[in-house]
Amino acid sequence: MTSSALQYLPARGSAPNQEILPLTARVNDQDSLEIGGCSIDSLVQKHGSPLYIVDEVTLRTAAQQYKQAWQKYYPGESLVIYASKAWNCLAICHIVTSEGLGIDVVSGGELLTALQAGAKPQQIYFHGNNKGVNELQLAIDKGCNIVVDNWWEIETLSTLATAQPVSIMLRLTPGIECHTHEYIRTGHLDSKFGFDPTRIDELFTYLSKQTQLRCIGLHAHIGSQIFEQQPHQDLAAVMVGWFTKAHTYGLPVSEINVGGGLGVKYTENDDPQSIDTWVQGVAAALEAACKEASLTPPRVISEPGRSLVANSCVTAYTIGSNKEVPGIRRYLAVDGGMSDNPRPITYQSVYRCVAATKMSAPCTEIVTVAGKHCESGDVLIHNASLPPTQPGDILVVPVTGAYNYSMASNYNRIPRPAAVLVKDGNSDVIIDRETYADLVKHDQLPERLR
């Protein structure tokens, strides 16, 4: 029996990261997809396409599940902070902040956005392997925590921190491998991130003499889009060992940051753990490691990004041209592509898609969904299963909330899409669609060329 897009509708009570479509997705009487009580075709008519559509309920549910799981399974204090590189904008940062989460930032721009969205400075953690002096000074002035990544940075901070002690965490490379794309594995020793653990005694000795730097904790991150539990359990034992050693040098460490990395469901072949299960496993490993070391469980911080926001968003496109290559494939072109979703061409990421107004129609065609950019590699989905479609039909690609808008570009001078937030039948623009005027407003034509 030929399947239809109905297979992607969410199950009741599931974790957001285990569903392809947002939690509020349903099919209305016109056989059209609705999210947040809004039909996709009406949203495209109102706001145009391509269009990012964010379901507020799904985003808030993921944040709540993380908070509740840590409170349920971990005996010590916990803080969940959103890894905002996944999608840093005012609305997304405000929503997670309003749910009691902190914010993880990696640039001065992300830092200022988080502050304007209402994040508390003491709950902002500033990451990055090459922060500029101006960015470090901004974080100091605002009273944020700085996750120190290397010797240059720690020595620079020692000269900048003059008025009062600066709270820092140390990012260490744990040497733990996990099965994910090579570009998003950050826990193995050959990585641009983090201090070399073989120099940890030298590092702790240096910090023990720096009164202007207050080392509040240790951080490690082993990668992204991870389905395995074992690497995170291994990480707990390593970090507790480092934590215990830091105390022998008199460092006032009180926090362990285990990073994030929980995977999400992009296709029916993906089988990520639920948020609850992931937290339960990491919490149990931390508690066991602390017990082994006779250590009272310290404050634990986790940094979900993708698993918080990815599955809350879909991207709607309008279908345009098509091309049949006899005996090989049929190309179906949409009005966006690699400029609004660079992940397929960058990471070979795999997505699914649905025809928004033909949800129950049998998927009888196999097509390649191509973007509109002047690049042969601009293909969003290979071998997509769809019902028969026509130019003007709306195509929806789910799970586009993480690293889509944040990595979007103006390649071919194409304006970046708008984004809307939907809930209870209402849609609100959270990012305006760029215009052609936006594309040239920073250009300058020297007088001698006029």
Is residue 149 packed enough to be buried (19+ CB in 10 Å), middle (13-18) or exposed (0-12)?
A: buried
CA distance 86 to 173: 21
Is residue 240 packed enough to be buried (19+ CB in 10 Å), middle (13-18) or exposed (0-12)?
A: buried
Region of residue 14 (phi > 0: left; psi between -120 and 50: alpha; otherwise: beta):
beta
Secondary-structure percent of the chain, ordered helix, strand, coil, rounded to 5: 35, 25, 45
Number of H helices, E strands in the chain: 12, 20
Strands 38-39 and 51-55: unpaired
* Cβ 172 vs Cβ 197: under 8 Å: yes
C-alpha distances in Å from residue 211, one per residue of 154, 163, 170, 171, 203: 13, 12, 16, 19, 14
**Which of 38, 89, 215, 374 is flagged as catalytic?**
374
- What sign for the dihedral angle of Cα 171, 172, 174, 180? positive
What phi and psi values does residue 151 have, to the nearest 5 degrees? -65, -40
* Partners of residue 172 on adjacent β-strands: 195
CA distance 301 to 243: 14
Question: Is 374 marked active-site?
Answer: yes
Catalytic residues: 374
